[in-house]
């Protein structure tokens, strides 16, 4: 049976920027092994598979695979899948006015479409889990993973730590934009330290000094390396960006009621991406995080699994 797929570049408004995702629109009946094989064939950082929902009130079931394994949640695959699925449904004359809800291993993921002049231009999701803070690692270990010196690791706000709002990452703040530009993964150091508490990737970032030209907004520059998963560098990582936003908001002694974030990623690898975030603390100290951005449709086609 032939299966339709479409691809999009996510967190960008220009083709060949952002982070590509492949979406298999009619995945019902595919085995886990077949899904993994297709993800390896596409060789994007993630490929998604759209299935009928178990709850009829939800939009779809979605499974997400890297080239190596299935993951419970990820940012750009959800954004891209919602964008492409909405375009597909609108082309059939179906309404896309309501928010989408995807059933995933991490739970129900609520996604709001971004509409501009009547066109679907992107999407925004709410992180499915509250922030969890896990193991702390030494600055020496973190620096070694990034081929940097220990003094390149900023420690004033938080040490290198595994955090998650649905998918764990080791997050590391660096001292300067130039340090971030010089970072590169050291496979031997990765293998010595990771996986740790579910994290096998490092999200390194630096915050811009001084206030943003937009009120109450923080600008971050980031890179994400995951060589253990076959991904040397990821152009845009919504799940990691959301975790960092939740962490920094939690650590802020006087968090704003509604704070904006602009995360620039992929610049140093030639696929510039822009992730737009919002953080909203509640009365109990929990932080809700929304992350989103624009998308561009790129490819479509069919694949036939013969004798598989």
Catalytic annotation, residues: 46
Instruction: State residue 85 phi and psi, 5-degree precision.
Output: -65, -40
Between β-strands 202-207 and 169-173, what pairing exists: parallel, antiparallel or unpaired?
parallel
Distance CA 274, CA 220 (A): 10
* Start-to-end Cα distance in the chain: 11
Kindly list the distances between the CA atom of residue 280 and the CA atoms of 28, 168, 229, 291, in Å, as whole numbers in the listed order.
37, 20, 32, 12
Distance CA 45, CA 47 (A): 7
Residue 173's nearest CA partner among 247, 252, 279 is 247
Between β-strands 119-126 and 107-116, what pairing exists: parallel, antiparallel or unpaired?
antiparallel
């Amino acid at each position: 049976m032939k299966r339709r797929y479409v691809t999009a570049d996510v967190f960008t408004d220009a083709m060949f920027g952002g982070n590509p995702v492949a979406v298999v629109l009619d995945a019902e009946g595919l085995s886990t092994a077949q899904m993994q094989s297709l993800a390896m064939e596409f060789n994007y950082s993630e490929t998604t598979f759209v299935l009928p929902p178990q709850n009829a009130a939800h939009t779809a079931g979605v499974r997400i695979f890297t080239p190596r394994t299935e993951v419970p949640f990820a940012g750009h695959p959800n954004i891209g899948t919602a964008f492409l699925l909405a375009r597909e449904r609108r082309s059939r004359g179906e309404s896309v006015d309501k928010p989408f809800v995807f059933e995933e291993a991490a739970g129900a993921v609520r996604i709001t479409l971004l509409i501009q002049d009547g066109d679907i231009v992107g999407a925004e999701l709410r992180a499915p889990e509250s922030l969890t803070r896990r193991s702390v690692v030494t600055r020496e270990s973190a620096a070694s993973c990034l081929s940097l010196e220990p003094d390149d690791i900023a420690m004033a706000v938080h040490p290198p730590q595994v955090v998650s709002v649905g998918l764990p990452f080791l997050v590391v703040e660096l001292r300067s934009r130039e340090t971030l530009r010089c970072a590169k993964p050291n496979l031997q150091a990765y293998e010595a330290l990771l996986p740790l508490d579910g994290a096998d990737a490092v999200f390194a970032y630096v915050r811009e000094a001084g206030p943003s030209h937009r009120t109450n907004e923080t600008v971050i520059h980031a890179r994400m390396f995951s060589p253990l998963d076959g991904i040397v560098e990821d152009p845009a990582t919504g799940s990691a960006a959301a975790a960092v936003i939740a962490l920094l908001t939690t650590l802020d002694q006087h968090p704003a009621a509604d704070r904006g974030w602009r995360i620039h990623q992929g610049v140093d690898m030639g696929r510039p991406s822009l992730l737009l975030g919002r953080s909203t603390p509640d009365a109990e100290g929990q932080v809700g995080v929304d992350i989103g951005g624009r998308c561009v449709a790129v490819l479509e086609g069919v694949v036939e699994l013969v004798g598989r």
